[in-house]
Amino acid sequence: MILVPLQCPFCGSEDVGKHGTVNGKQRYICHTLECSHRTFYTEYTYNACKSGVKSDIYKQSVNGSGVRAISRCLGISTDTVISELKKRKRHKSYQQGILSDAFHR
Ligand SMILES: [Zn+2]
């Protein structure tokens, strides 16, 4: 399992937890004293835009994870995973770039 490092947009802390959903959006809560349980939202699309998530999608698919497992694991929608994997198939050179990038990390 890969945990997505989720950060509080106010203080930058990763000491955040899930705090239910509102209108289908996942709400998070920050546990630091600074924010004193301030809540915030993180869009699925926002996660997918973060560097690292896209290569994580690919790495997990290589490991044999299904689309659903990957989306659950990374906290992004299955649509994002599918479209990302489709892009990969189309751009072989990009795929190799991701692989070497992962190798050097
Ligand atoms: Zn905070």
Higher pLDDT pick, 46 / 80: 80
Q: Both 28 and 71 in a single domain? A: no
Residue 31 Cα to ligand 1 middle (Å): 7
Ion ligand 1 residues within 5 Å by Cβ:
8, 10-11, 13, 30, 32, 35
| pTM metric for this prediction | 0.39
Cα 21 to middle of ligand 1, angstroms: 18
Residue 17 to residue 62: CA distance in whole angstroms: 29
Same domain, 100 and 81: yes
Rounded to the nearest angstrom, the distance between the alpha carbon of 63 and the centre of ligand 1 is 34
pLDDT at 45: 43
Considering the domain architecture, whether residues 25 and 64 belong to the same structural domain is answered as no
Q: Mean pLDDT across the stretch 59-83?
A: 87
Indicate the number of domains in the chain.
2
Looking at per-residue pLDDT, the higher value among 67 and 5 belongs to: 67
| Same domain assignment for residues 34 and 67 | no
Residue span of the structural domain in which 23 resides: 1-42
Could you give the C-alpha distances from 15 to 8, 41, 60, 77, in angstroms and in order? 8, 15, 25, 23
Same-domain status, 34 and 50: no
